[in-house]
Amino acid sequence: MKKRSLALLLAVCMAFAAVITPATAAFEFKDFPDVSSDAWYYDCVGWLSALEIVNGDTDGYFYPDRPIKRSEFLKMISIATELVASPTPLRGVHWAEPSWLMCVENGLLDYNGENIIPLDFDALEQYITRYEMAVIISNAMESVMMENTVEISSPEVAITDYSSVPEGYRGYVEQAYGKGVITGFTDGSFGGDETLTRAQASMAVYRLLWNNERVEPEFDYTVIEKEEPVAPEIVPDGTPFAVYVQENGLLNAYGRPSSALCEMLFGSEYKNYFTSAADAGDYIVDVEVPVWRINSAGQKYSTTAWLQVHKLVANDVVGIFTAIFNDPEQFPIQSVGGARYSDTLRHSWGCAIDINPTQNAYGYYSNGSLVCSVGEGWWPGSNEYSITADGSVVRAFEAYGWGWGGQGYSSGWYDYMHFSIMPSGG
């Protein structure tokens, strides 16, 4: 098959990458004594330093041939792709933890369903391999920059050491090669087990951002065009909104809504959260739901509670709480919260709910103990207000397509109070 132009492949890219180009942007290169003007990496180091994506050492040298640590590369890529700061509290594991969280929560560290780099001080201090770089770069192109993917016709010809590339890495390496972000060594090999140098890392990020600096492949490949999900104008009767969203592919695993979903939730394909109640307007509504509570004598009694949610999930939320109320468990709900605007995630959409936060904490485990950031703990089976994994609350939300944060996130945090329209409860 004939080669396809990279212009087709890169139809969708980062906004600032499309505006700022090496030919037109007015930025000042930093002067590194060990980066000569005739070095192959001069331009990429220059532009990345001008944007403060890379910096030299404390002595003013860049050290282009020095291996780069995983932590350093994560900081580079999180700045370069302009990832939004994570709302997840820090554990204090490593100085690069904020960058690690941003990369995890945007899918950049996803290696076949697992995080390719764990949140561990020693792990983050290790030098990054070229295989790991290919995973992160490929994920950035697909999940953050929303580029099309490619299929290389004969990868074993394009990459001379392809037969030795582990199966799990092959797809990532092919994407990076096929899009011209990496070219391998002069003999055509990739050398994935080798560590990445600071100069090589800079070139990979440079080509990631500036499409015109990518290398047109000298082998046959096919562009796999993305199909933007198109939402019908009306959600079918009887279909829970979360189920409808998931079945139509309107929300990816990392919580990134399609333009169709943004149009439905926020009234614009260019908007993906509400900043305040005033901003949300009549998209957010008050709903009254039946709940069980416990009085001072330890007896359960029925009453109602009010919460704010998006109008598209309002009927589902009433159905969820009615199912919880009618279940023989009679789970007591001491407090419940819906829409709020402290971050850009599902609560700011009106599509997330917290129940009994004091007894269903948000935190992480250390040496087998739950370290709480919000709430006081989680005592399933021994505290009536704590949500159990197989109890009526989780079952009711699950029936409407909502996920529970008590399953745990890829970041290592657990949110036992939290439910959302994402299957993960994110």
H/E element, 355:
strand 352-355
In this predicted model, what pLDDT tens digit does every residue of 177-187 receive, in sequence order? 889 998 888 88
Query: pTM of the predicted model, to two decimals?
Result: 0.85
For residue 221, the tally of other CB atoms under 10 A from its CB is 24
In this predicted model, what pLDDT tens digit does every residue of 351-399 receive, in sequence order? 999 999 999 999 999 999 999 999 999 999 999 999 999 999 999 999 9
Helix-, strand-, coil-residue percentages of the chain, each rounded to 5: 35, 15, 50
Distance CA 135, CA 108 (A): 8
Q: Is the dihedral of CA 348, 358, 366, 402 positive or negative?
A: negative
Task: Name the pLDDT band for 233 (thresholds 50, 70, 90).
Answer: low
Residue type, 98: P
Phi/psi for 149 (5° steps) reads: -100, 170
Residue type, 257: P
What are the residues whose beta carbons fall under 8 Å from the beta carbon of 126, sequence distance 6 or more? 69, 70
- Exposed (0-12), middle (13-18) or buried (19+): which is 169, by Cβ within 10 Å? buried
Strand, coil or helix: what is 133? Answer: helix
CA 99 from centroid of its chain's CA atoms: 12
CA 205 from centroid of its chain's CA atoms: 18
Task: Name the pLDDT band for 340 (thresholds 50, 70, 90).
Answer: very high
In this predicted model, what pLDDT tens digit does every residue of 26-40 receive, in sequence order? 578 899 999 999 999
Among 212, 197, 192, residue whose Cα is nearest residue 54: 197
Structure tokens at 185: 């060594």
Among 419, 409, 391, residue whose Cα is nearest residue 104: 409
Helices (H), 191-285: 198-209, 241-247, 259-266, 277-280
Angle at 102 between CA 100 and CA 107, to 5 degrees: 95
What is the predicted pLDDT for the residue at 232?
64
Asked if residues 265 and 351 have their Cβ atoms less than 8 Å apart, the reply is yes
Q: Quickly tell me which residue has 């959600």 as its tokens.
A: 235
Residue 115 bridge partners (DSSP): 110
What is the predicted pLDDT for the residue at 26?
55
Residue 69 DSSP symbol: B
Asked if residues 354 and 418 have their Cβ atoms less than 8 Å apart, the reply is yes
